Structure 1
Amino acid sequence: MPHVMVTQHYDRYTTQDHLVWKVLFDRQTALLHKRAAAAFSVGLQKAGLHRNALPRFEEISKRLQKATGWQLEPVNGMLDDATFFGLLAQRKFPATVWIRSMEQFDFIQEPDLFHGIFGHVPLLMDQAFADFLHFLGRVAAQHLHDAPALARMERLYGFTVQFGLVQEQGATRMYGAGLLSSSGEIHHCIADESNRRPFDLATVLQAEYSEAHLQEHYFVLNSWEQLTESVAELAALLASGWQLQPA
């Protein structure tokens, strides 16, 4: 889908839209108590997100710009990989302006405003995480016409930024936006039968990834440093002429 710049028309949100945000905000913050990474709780406050009203993109962008040099890019829906990673390389995060309906509380296949803002923005307020995401975007931007490489970048992004887990003070915590913004994904992840593995780049690059259903496996960082290390390792492999098998 081509990238279409849009504007957040705040006055067009309905009373139900604001109610959806409030109910989701309350439910997710309760579910994430002692389950989310420390950076999420800190970022939620720094971003000024609260339950009482839908966030204004312009205000969030100003806070992000001041904290980590990022800004929001309002979009009308899903983007192709080249456009998406190209925006990340410019420290611009695409966020959808529409919010899900009451019937879509537990799981949605396309990212909405709640996923983009509640799920992604708090971690983007963290400088180390924001720098990692920029690094990933820059590396991907060098391979925009290399479909196998982009597919692997998408998997690295998916199993970290979207559905990543990290070890903090002896406990496994959530930091991926797809987890943070979805009660269905949280319950699926914490179930006893959930497949949680130690993060390993080679395994991640070969793992099947899709956002069309609940995840079949999750990867757990042993430290935040693994994020930047994984991008550097993948960049070095690509620069050396390493040939990726079709994804």
Structure 2
Amino acid sequence: MTDLITAGKLCKEEREKRGLSRKDLHNITKIPIDIIKRLEEDENYLRKDPYAYFLMKVLIDYYQLDIELERNPETDKKVENVKKVEDTEERQGFFIRLFKTVFVFLIGFIFVLISTSGKNKKENGLTDFFQLISNPQPEDNWIEIKDSSSKDGIQKISLKAKDYVWITAYIDGKEKVIKMKKGQKVKLFFRHKIKFETIGNAKNLVILFDDKKVDFEKKVVHNLFVDGDGVFYNGYNLAKEES
């Protein structure tokens, strides 16, 4: 059994033996360059990051090294805890969406009853109803979404829409549904983390984190995480500059 630190050194030796740069390896494995560097040299990262084990296996499989990795109980526990949190949030999200569906149906039913009382009332009710459910927002200014009860430790990311985008997110565990029009800009404030459960029309969204731009090639993106260290998708930090 080989620990992650030893495996990282062996992978670095193998890369150099083959005359590959970290950028070459990134082009082959799609692992970000800064993560490759950490896998090869950063002992603290290898001990603590729950995704280090799985990314190291990608390198070992590519090099076809005869290495059996030693599991780290501490990081395995972190991965298990993350999965439990995600499962809990997924179940909560289902019941919240079900409640919202029933609520919208009832509002629509009430509106139909009110609208039968007369033409003028119908026209006024129609205007008020759409103002209520659409919550129109100005396109030229930044829209700020934050918990007014939060005080210290606030962090933020910025969203810009190149065209229509819809988002379901959990900001510190609280669900937010965000609909953005072309040119609209939104700032999200958080303490601990944001989970973007779904980003629809993700190709039209740009995320700004710590002056770094993150955009997407996919039309739909699921399970994107943001915390104080970056924007994580499938274990990769998309907000790290390649070096």
Give the structure-1-normalised TM-score: 0.25
Relative to total residues, which structure has the larger helix share, 1 or 2?
Answer: 1
Highest RCO, 1 vs 2 (Cα 8 Å, sep ≥ 6): 1
Greater share of strand: 2
**TM-score scaled by length of structure 2:** 0.25
